Amino acid sequence: MASATFFISPLLFLHITLALANITINSTLYTNNNNNNPWRSPSGEFAFGFQQIKDTKLFIVAIWYDKILEKTIVWNSYSQSNNPTPTGSKIQLTQSGLKLTTPNGESTWIAQTNNTTVSYGSMLDTGNFVLASSDNNNTLVWQSFKNPSDTLLPSQILEPNLTLTSRLKDSNYTRGRFQLYFQDNFILFSPLAWPTELRYTYYEDFGPAAHLVFDERGEIYAEAKNGTRTPPKEDPNWRPDLVLDTWNNYYRATLDYYGVFTQYVHSKDSNSQQQGWRILRYIPGDICTSVLDGYGYGSGACGYNSYCSMLEQRPTCTCLDGYTLIDPSNVFGGCQPNFTLGCGADNSDEELQARPEELYTFKVLNDVDFPLNDYEKIQPYTLDACQQDCLKDCICAVAIYDNQTCWKKRFPLSFGKAKSGGQTIFIKTRVAPLGTPPGSKSKKDDDNNVKPVFIGLLTGLLVINVVLLAAVLSVIRLKKRKREIKVSSLLETNVHSFSYEALKEATRGFSEELGRGSFGIVYKGTIESRFYNVVAVKKLDGLAEGREKEFKAELNAIGKTSHKNLVRLIGFCDEGTNRLLVYEFMSNGSLANFLFALDKPNWDLRVRFGLGIARGLVYLHEECDTPIIHCDIKPQNILIDDNFIAKISDFGLAKLLLSDQSRTKTMIRGTRGYVAPEWFRNVPVTVKVDVYSFGVMLLEIICCRRSVLMLESGGGEEEKAVLTDWAYDCYLESRINDLVDGDTGALADKGRLQRWVKIAIWCIQEHNEMRPTMGMVLQMLEGFVEVSDPPSPFS
Ligand SMILES: *[C@@H]1O[C@H](CO)[C@@H](O)[C@H](O)[C@H]1NC(C)=O
Ligand SMILES: *[C@@H]1O[C@H](CO)[C@@H](O)[C@H](O)[C@H]1NC(C)=O
Ligand SMILES: *[C@@H]1O[C@H](CO)[C@@H](O)[C@H](O)[C@H]1NC(C)=O
Ligand SMILES: *[C@@H]1O[C@H](CO)[C@@H](O)[C@H](O)[C@H]1NC(C)=O
Ligand SMILES: *[C@@H]1O[C@H](CO)[C@@H](O)[C@H](O)[C@H]1NC(C)=O
Ligand SMILES: *[C@@H]1O[C@H](CO)[C@@H](O)[C@H](O)[C@H]1NC(C)=O
Ligand SMILES: *[C@@H]1O[C@H](CO)[C@@H](O)[C@H](O)[C@H]1NC(C)=O
Ligand SMILES: *[C@@H]1O[C@H](CO)[C@@H](O)[C@H](O)[C@H]1NC(C)=O
Ligand SMILES: *[C@@H]1O[C@H](CO)[C@@H](O)[C@H](O)[C@H]1NC(C)=O
Ligand SMILES: *[C@@H]1O[C@H](CO)[C@@H](O)[C@H](O)[C@H]1NC(C)=O
């Protein structure tokens, strides 16, 4: 029967469908029974009725594809400035149109026909919902096709007095940020000064047109008065000459909420391989670069403080480093800094003394373009001066440096887009409060957050936007605080106490192992903190139960340390047998990865590593309240951060894990090849054990090889097997160059090479009293103190 009707003339077909689908006067739809009984088209493909808004108890009056899984909405009354309506509402067809009544009796018109009397309504198979009057030969007195939302369907024609307006976001149907409209016989696309409907400069046009046609075959074109048809502007992403098949496919054209006009296709066959809506073609090809108001109003394709990039034919937005989404469910909604930025942001009493350079730092972002927002251009200038200048300038949000020129940009940043070969920008962000006085520091910071900080920065920009932004900001800020992992601090330090559950969650059930050390396994984790994001969580093993007091005492000692060359302890967990430590994450792995890789790190970098580690050890041995003996210095326990700074990890743990009983060989802490001889003797362990291990490691840093090699016998290389022996032999025989195996950087720095080898030999002296202190070692390394010739380390 169905197939027969399609061969009859369209007019007759229309007549038949109308006849099948009459909705009589006084017919009513309720939110409650909506799912079973919307007003369906004869084929059942389209339906009219209430649709519930996801995750709410609200409904909108809508038309949707009823036979596909997604129930995609093609028309809704929300865009006709009717708000969503609560459960218990109803729609009734009256002689004056469609009336919506809420449970408390308020009525609004979804469709009103004024002087003509409606005889019936009908949901057509085209997706058009119509109201007809019998007075006038069944004239259609109202059509959804003439009151479009954001979508056009085949056989729908857009007249010059009509517009398409995008929705706000995927799941919010309120009028959004983009509009398609007619002006002076052109079809234009513009961003709107949301939430008003004032239009900014257009970003795309369709050429001269009397109307926009989406014909029955699925073609879309602008038609001039004289009948000339122009397909959408020449754009490689609007593929012409496509074979369209309206028999087997659904087509729709939607002005997406990010401003792209897209034709989509969906198979009618539910068994089809290709399920879901697919992109057929779209304009503009790159919305990121298209939306740029000539006067600089608005935020561009993305919201403020984010930048736009195209990903699989769709735009996406990314917040600047240190910024987070204002509305976490809307990546196009703009971002806010998750610290206080702006003048007066640092006026809390505690921070009054802090200089801006200590409070802020820069994150570097490459290949982006923020064409506007400049307020100062300084030339000629150095990069350093540019950064310092921005740090001290409370208005400055971003600095750009190029060709001796420094540009400063103000908040909020707009029209950001990813662009290869684009600028390198320096984003001002807040640093962690290093070495700050103990106490309720973080609490103070939070109070600070709630203060409005944007006053004065935005004058001249849209006042409405500002007020909205500020309002949303403070709400989000308040919310955000609640989400942070609840932590309590150790009394005297900034070290936080985490629950085992929190750390389990942070490490996704201890799933990603970073490494195994002498004290336990280390896992990667993510915590929500103001200053750290990725962390390393170390699960300690071998720690006897019932030593809470010692554990806490030791953690207090570790927590009080603060040095550039020490890995920072962020927190801990102490629940029964579960003892975990949370450290800052070091993205470049351990020193061992560097030294023993195929590509040797260059000499200068190795020198920096050596000096850094020595400084860290001097701090542990000589500058803490009670000296901390590491006991396991080796390249695996030295971590390298983003800036290639060497940091000592695992310090302060040895004491905890060391057995109280007398030392036996099995109880020796430390690692073969690095342990000082006194471990095997009955003498007290002192800081000098670290000096010994440092000496071995210094040789490894110089030579880029392990302290002990497994060499095949008979290769003539046996003399090299043990690094300390070989190094001393080379030193005695004045063959120090052999140690660096042709490393040009080291050979060019001969004085230092000689000196450092001698220092290493001093460090590995058999008798601990012969070894220098770390303080002395550092002075010698730095060249402030002469290094005398060392005696044999083995006597
Ligand atoms: C639909 O309504 C129109 C106008 O009242 C009428 O002419 C037509 O016969 C109706 N069709 C059916 C099937 O009720
Ligand atoms: C619709 O309802 C009103 C009020 O109940 C009634 O007066 C009218 O006759 C009804 N019209 C039809 C066509 O049933
Ligand atoms: C009927 O009148 C209302 C209010 O005057 C108007 O908004 C609406 O567009 C009119 N409807 C039609 C079909 O002309
Ligand atoms: C509706 O009717 C009133 C008087 O009955 C008339 O003044 C008005 O112009 C009419 N409106 C339309 C759109 O026909
Ligand atoms: C109704 O349609 C017929 C034929 O199409 C036409 O002759 C007549 O004038 C129309 N009447 C009205 C009121 O439009
Ligand atoms: C829009 O224009 C069309 C003709 O171009 C006209 O038939 C229709 O009544 C107009 N609608 C409104 C609401 O002005
Ligand atoms: C849609 O967004 C507007 C503006 O942000 C908001 O007022 C409204 O509550 C949202 N609607 C839903 C259903 O979330
Ligand atoms: C039709 O009108 C357009 C502009 O509106 C013009 O460019 C075109 O040449 C015209 N075509 C014909 C056949 O007149
Ligand atoms: C701060 O921003 C960074 C993104 O740069 C994010 O990873 C971190 O979670 C944010 N912190 C808070 C507390 O929102
Ligand atoms: C760099 O700046 C100088 C001085 O303003 C200018 O002459 C030169 O063209 C610039 N070079 C580039 C590559 O922009």
Q: What is the mean pLDDT of the chain?
A: 81
Q: How far apart are CA 21 and CA 39, in angstroms?
A: 9
- The residue nearest atom 4 of ligand 4, judged by CA position, is 115
Identify which ligand lies nearest to the alpha carbon of 28.
2
pLDDT at 15: 40
| Structure-model confidence comparison of residues 715 and 89, the more confident one | 89
For the CA of 114, the nearest atom of ligand 4: 1
d(CA 130, CA 627): 86
Per-residue pLDDT, 762:
94
d(CA 301, CA 259): 7
The CATH number of domain 1-147, selected from 3.40.50.620, 1.10.3720.10, 1.25.40.10, 2.90.10.10: 2.90.10.10
**Of 32-36, 225-229, 252-256, 389-393, where does the model show the most confidence?**
252-256
Cα–Cα distance for residue pair 472/68, rounded to 1 Å: 36
Point out the ligand nearest to the CA of residue 18: 1
Q: Tell the CATH topology of 480-584.
A: Phosphorylase Kinase; domain 1 (3.30.200)
Ligand nearest to C-alpha 162: 6
Q: What is the dihedral of CA 240, 246, 247, 249, to 10 degrees?
A: 90
Confidence tier at 423 by pLDDT (50, 70, 90): confident
Binding residues: 539
Q: Which atom of ligand 2 is nearest to the CA of 94?
A: 1
Measured from the Cα of 224, ligand 8's closest atom is 5
pLDDT of amino acid 666: 38
3-state helix, strand, coil in the chain (%, to 5): 25, 30, 45
170-179, 256-265, 285-294: which range is least confident on average?
285-294
Is 81 near ligand 4, meaning CB less than 6 Å away?
Answer: no
181 DSSP assignment: E
Q: Per CATH, which fold does 591-781 belong to? A: Transferase(Phosphotransferase); domain 1 (1.10.510)
d(CA 289, CA 452): 32
Comparing CA positions, the residue from 563, 539, 764 lying closest to residue 646 is 563
* Weakest-pLDDT range from 282-291, 673-682, 687-696: 673-682
Q: Is the pLDDT confidence value at 595 over 60? A: yes
| CATH number for the domain formed by residue range(s) 150-284 | 2.90.10.10
Please, which pLDDT band fits residue 264 given cuts at 50, 70 and 90? very high
Q: Are strands 85-86 and 90-94 parallel, antiparallel or unpaired?
A: unpaired
Kindly provide the b/e burial profile for residues 583-594, where b requires at least 16 CB atoms within 10 angstroms of the residue's own CB: bbbbeeebbbeb
Q: What pLDDT shows up at residue 542?
A: 65
Percentage of residues in the chain with pLDDT exceeding 70? Answer: 81
Confidence of residue 78 (pLDDT cuts 50, 70, 90): confident
Give residue 697's pLDDT. 95
Would you say the CB of residue 134 lies under 6 angstroms from ligand 5? no
Gap from CA of 327 to ligand 7 centroid (Å): 11
**β strands within 69-203, DSSP E:** 73-76, 85-86, 90-94, 97-101, 107-112, 120-123, 129-133, 139-143, 151-152, 156-158, 164-169, 172-183, 186-191
- Domain 306-427 belongs to what topology? Hepatocyte Growth Factor (3.50.4)
Instruction: Say yes or no to pLDDT of 556 above 70.
Output: yes
Residue nearest atom 7 of ligand 3, based on CA coordinates? 112
pLDDT surpasses 70 at 129: yes
| Cross-strand bridge partners of residue 399 | 408, 426
Give the pLDDT band (50/70/90) at residue 255: very high
What is residue 452's predicted lDDT score, i.e. its pLDDT?
Answer: 31
Backbone angles phi, psi at 552, to 5 degrees: -65, -40
Our answer on whether the CB atom of 272 is closer than 6 Å to any ligand 1 atom is: no
Catalytically active residues are: 632
* Residue 114 Cβ contacting ligand 3 at under 6 Å: yes
Q: What is the pLDDT of residues 480-531, one digit of tens each?
A: 333 333 334 443 456 788 888 888 888 888 888 887 766 778 898 988 765 6
- Please state the domain extents for the chain: 1-147, 150-284, 306-427, 480-584, 591-781
Instruction: Tell me the CA–centroid distance for residue 55 and ligand 7, in Å.
Output: 12
pTM exceeds 0.85 for this model: no
Report whether residue 348 contacts ligand 3, using a CB cutoff of 6 Å.
no
Q: Which of 29-33, 444-448, 771-775 has the lowest mean pLDDT?
A: 444-448
1-147 shares its CATH topology with 150-284 = yes
pLDDT in tens, 202-230: 898 887 889 999 999 999 999 988 888 88
> Which pLDDT belongs to residue 720?
84
